[in-house]
Structure 1
């Protein structure tokens, strides 16, 4: 028996087009021209799926969704939205929508979304997996049994097939770039380029050329034309890592790129149209950056169309043992070691640790332990965690100000990473700009 699909769409042309595509693919289709009519049909006939527009007269698609989920929570609902109503679509996903599709869209995107919904409903997709691999041949895996992380993954999957801008927020080491790649690999752009740019790694003049490209002779040293990262990511995905560290003047140019979907090469005469999905990441609270005059509010709204927040590892205690097991297998195989597990007291120590550097720090600890381990089981002696805890405890003394403690922590961290400010900022959980400002303060204080 063919799946029965109810389409609720007030635009007649769109309703006809949706019907033709779905019938061509073997589905039985019923249609309604508004939400009230759609709910009446839903109450009379059994349906396997509902596809509804978001913005409709009488009652909205969001109200239709809530009513359907109240009556039949197992029925997948796909939302169709125009660009101007995307915030409603994100809200709809939080209310239980299976996915949403941005207008205009291709028949291929519709086919794929409907097929995924049918498979999900019939149980052909793995439910609540601990390890999710987006592609069989890909090395990126998300290991979790945490409810908040599962919501992050479901959100990422739900928005993967759209072209909307995504802002991924989270502390350093939580896996923001991994989620960005996960989204790319589950999108219709997966066969195109994924281009990552670290906005904190280059000064503004170089970053402008890196992002937007330049023409030959546009400045001293420009001996050839350079294609920018946005053009390289055309029809694919561009990741703007540490977006909060971008200079304000460049933020204005980025805003124009996002609005106009075209880039101006440095020294170029005409804009170059681009079609790249933009994902931005930050470990900083952008609202605070806006209040401090370091980030444009209009750019924030343009980037924050679909917000994803990754929880820190200390709030995912149930994931620590899973991640340890995964990293032991990974690094044992990589280094041809025969380490198979971890002693209970060592596991307890890692579970109780604060993990300022999150998953990245945990992996570093496990990689080191695997390399040093002499037998099959990692014990406390191979973790070197006690030295870290003792150093923290010994540095906390009565009469020492918070500012002095902060200064000592910053310089100790810089010493541990051989002066690498980017690495130090990651370990400290602050932006590179914040670290730079702190060091300038200390420098002025000491009159250096």
Structure 2
């Protein structure tokens, strides 16, 4: 039963509605069940050795950084879910990709559930993303979206966003768990049966995770996050799930008045422009997928004025900073328990690789002693609980990136054998077995 005045639902008839207080407003409501789902294939089971593999032909997005994260482009029949904070540039990135695919491959269908057609046209003109092969459908009904796809037969479909699309026969509001799950299932089945890649935009919660049921992320083939800080112009496209490629790659963009622009050399973006070295500043070499990045880490250590000392981080793992402070206090003898500690990664980039441990530790010591790290020095290494330096992968790539950007010396774990690594010929290499040895090499020479 449903109240015709306020929509209040009840499993039995009521004389007076608890929602609006009106009398005799309940009417019988017939629930329309969704159609029975069909299986993707009806072939009987057979040995995997008899299955003929499909030739991998990808559709380029026309954006090199996006193709890098996807593993080379869109796989036919794949479903890609793109999430990110409001205003970070999700719709901008997809509209730029849509117009490039339309110009290179063929027709693209852009389903807009949040903006009207004139609004999308205005944004497309600002981004210089107007093309006759880009078809726009301001639509929120999933059945009409399926009809548009079957009639147009585009090479790529973009749905912005999945939370705005709904199925009329489902008794739930758009954006609810049931609606999001059902619409994702239908679009996934459509992609697999037609071979058309489908890109879905997903809203995120205030914690930064994709809104809706977690099963949505399991159903799609690729999950991407567009990350960025509102106070910086850079954006990082990161893959957290990819059935057709690596999840370690990142794409770096810079936002300007004409949209998102690819950054060819991300390392320069994350390094400060200060000429004179200052205490608490250390450059580390991180690797995201196959791409080495040089990032500046800044630390500030000062005596706690009152109460419990504060620890704050931005761009680096809070737990790793606390761990480095504990190792320095135990193995080196620095009394950091009574100090306020602030650590920041320049440019707003987020570092999660353990190879930045030594850089964090040296930045803390440099600030505590008020002694700068020599200019042109890059630091690499993972720190263990006993203070030892553990080897890091892809040391040669890290050294080559440092040499390309003009650094002249590098400190790395002795266990990595960096003296034999190609790429470090133009650098002065200093191998250290522990944090104490690294301090002697960097801050006391």
Larger Rg: 2
Determine if the TM-score, normalized by the shorter chain, exceeds 0.5: no
TM-score by length of structure 1 reads 0.32
- Bigger strand fraction: 2
- Bigger helix fraction: 1
